Amino acid sequence: MDDEEVVQDVLGTLLLRAGYEVTAAPTGEDGLAHLARRRFDLVLLDLMLPGQGGMEVLRRIREESPLLPVLMMTAFGSVESAVEAMKLGAFHYLPKPFKNEEVLNLVAQAISQSRLREENQQLRRALLERHRFEKLVGKSKPMQELYRLVEQVAPSRSTVLIQGESGTGKELFAHAIHQRSGRASAPFVVVSCNSIPSELLEANLFGHQRGAFTGATTARRGLFEAADQGSIFFDEIGSVRPEVQAKLLRVIQEREFLPLGSTELVRVDVRIIGATNADLKKQVERGEFREDLYYRLNVIVLDLPPLRERIEDIPLLAEHFLQKYSAENGKPVDGLTAPALEKLLRYPWPGNVRELENVIERAVVLCRGRMVDLDLLPATIRIPDGTAAASFEGPLPEGVSLPEAMDRYERELIEATLKKTRGVQKRAAEMLGLKPTTLSEKIKRLGISI
């Protein structure tokens, strides 16, 4: 895009002779119209254009075609405009007058890098698809076993209990079970047991008749009726109060219930899937959860591993979230640098997949280039607190030798790291940069209790 006919002619002739197909546009509006109609490999864009200026056109191109390389040109070059153009994602900055050889070299580089980036993205997308199951991503052995179990369980009518820490993807697994079942075309209803006040949960689940309680001015259908022929997912089912637990048990056993204030039973065909991050068995022992309901839910159990126990899935998940948030934000972020990925692999992820997703979303939003580097990761990941837990300031205490002080420091460091990994020695060895056998020997030598 250039408003000077001489420049258009010179560049057009030069690029045509080099074997490129060329489309000229005298204004930014004309150029954007061409981009809307067909695909291009590169844009040569003049900074000084009539109407929309080159910078504004560059912003539009970045929003609508984030991966399209743009080579900026101007006779009024300055450091400030060059920096601004590069920040907006321009491939390079070319001041006029330019040498023909320089133009051809930059054009070839831009197209080559663009095609290579596209090929890499296609390969990464193919890798992701190979290890995707419904909306779940993972190639680790625990995940593959869970996928197989979901395939077996989904067609049945049995209740399912999904156990796992917060952020491990319990709702995604529940949805995968629903989608792989014969109920996929029917509703999938989510009940967040923690977010609905306990006094309202019963009315929400089973519905009520007019006048059933203060404020019930009309009759209302409950979530069980809304989920008829489909599936109902109880997130954090362990928080349901005992009187509602009794009604849940009846629905599982008899497929029927009484709405509040009604004398007529309502029959439903609903598959119940429960999820918890608590130990329901211990809740039963403490009298907090009905034993009969526990065994009704405990027919088929899916135990979801925390992210720290399937670190081989972290690169795949990071790539998945990079693609997702790059598309949402219109930013062409290609991937993670090696140091950034290494930090992600070494971090224990107490918030599991949900925490990783938040970290990647933040990095994409803040990213100004093509790659996510260390500076875009939170300090908790860049500088894990467990690896700097012990320190000594000033001279050694009287009567303490250097070897004794070093042993004390080493002991505190290993204990802090083991605490961070919840006693998983293999993970602690990775964080400390040691072989598992070396760490084991140090634990025994220093008398560290696990």
What's domain 152-304's superfamily in CATH? P-loop containing nucleotide triphosphate hydrolases (3.40.50.300)
CATH of domain 387-446: 1.10.10
Tens-of-pLDDT digits for all 450 residues of the chain? 555 677 777 888 888 888 888 888 888 888 888 888 888 888 888 887 777 778 888 888 877 777 788 888 876 555 567 667 777 778 777 777 778 888 888 888 888 877 777 766 666 566 555 656 778 888 899 999 999 999 999 999 999 999 999 999 999 999 999 999 999 999 999 999 888 887 788 888 988 777 666 666 677 888 999 999 999 999 999 999 888 899 899 999 999 988 887 778 899 999 999 999 999 999 999 999 999 999 999 999 999 999 999 999 999 999 999 989 998 888 888 889 888 998 999 898 989 999 999 999 999 999 888 889 988 998 888 875 544 444 444 455 556 565 666 667 678 788 888 888 888 888 888 777 677 888 888 888 888 877
pLDDT digits over 97-131, tens only? 778 888 888 888 888 877 777 766 666 566 555 65
CA dihedral 236, 237, 239, 242 (to 10 degrees): 180
Task: Indicate the SS3 state at residue 45.
Answer: strand
CA dihedral 50, 51, 54, 55 (to 10 degrees): 150
pLDDT digits over 132-147, tens only? 677 888 889 999 999 9
User: Which residues of the chain form CATH 3.40.50.2300?
Assistant: 5-127
What is residue 209's predicted lDDT score, i.e. its pLDDT? Answer: 78
What is residue 413's predicted lDDT score, i.e. its pLDDT? Answer: 80
The total of other beta-carbon atoms located within 10 Å of residue 155's CB is 12
CATH tag for 5-127 (out of 3.30.360.10, 3.40.50.150, 3.40.50.2300, 3.40.50.12500): 3.40.50.2300
Nearest to 46 by CA among 66, 70, 74: 74
Write out the two tokens for 419.
């605490």
Write out the two tokens for 320.
């998945």
User: Which residues of the chain form CATH 3.40.50.300?
Assistant: 152-304
CATH of domain 308-379: 1.10.8.60
What pTM, to 2 d.p., does this model score? 0.61
Cα–Cα distance list, 113 to 35, 106, 110, 288, 323 (Å):
20, 10, 5, 61, 19
What is residue 114's predicted lDDT score, i.e. its pLDDT? Answer: 77
The total of other beta-carbon atoms located within 10 Å of residue 173's CB is 26
Upstream peptide bond of 97 is cis (omega within 30 degrees of 0) = yes
User: Which residues of the chain form CATH 1.10.10?
Assistant: 387-446
User: Which residues of the chain form CATH 1.10.8.60?
Assistant: 308-379
What is residue 214's predicted lDDT score, i.e. its pLDDT? Answer: 67
What is residue 136's predicted lDDT score, i.e. its pLDDT? Answer: 87
Q: Please give the single-letter amino acid code of residue 6.
A: V
142: left (phi over 0), alpha (psi -120 to 50) or beta: alpha
**Cβ proximity of 208 and 261 under 8 Å:** yes
**Cβ proximity of 282 and 129 under 8 Å:** no
Angle at 17 between CA 11 and CA 19, to 5 degrees: 105
Q: Mapped to the 3 state alphabet, what secondary structure does 19-35 carry? A: CCCCCCCCCHHHHHHHH
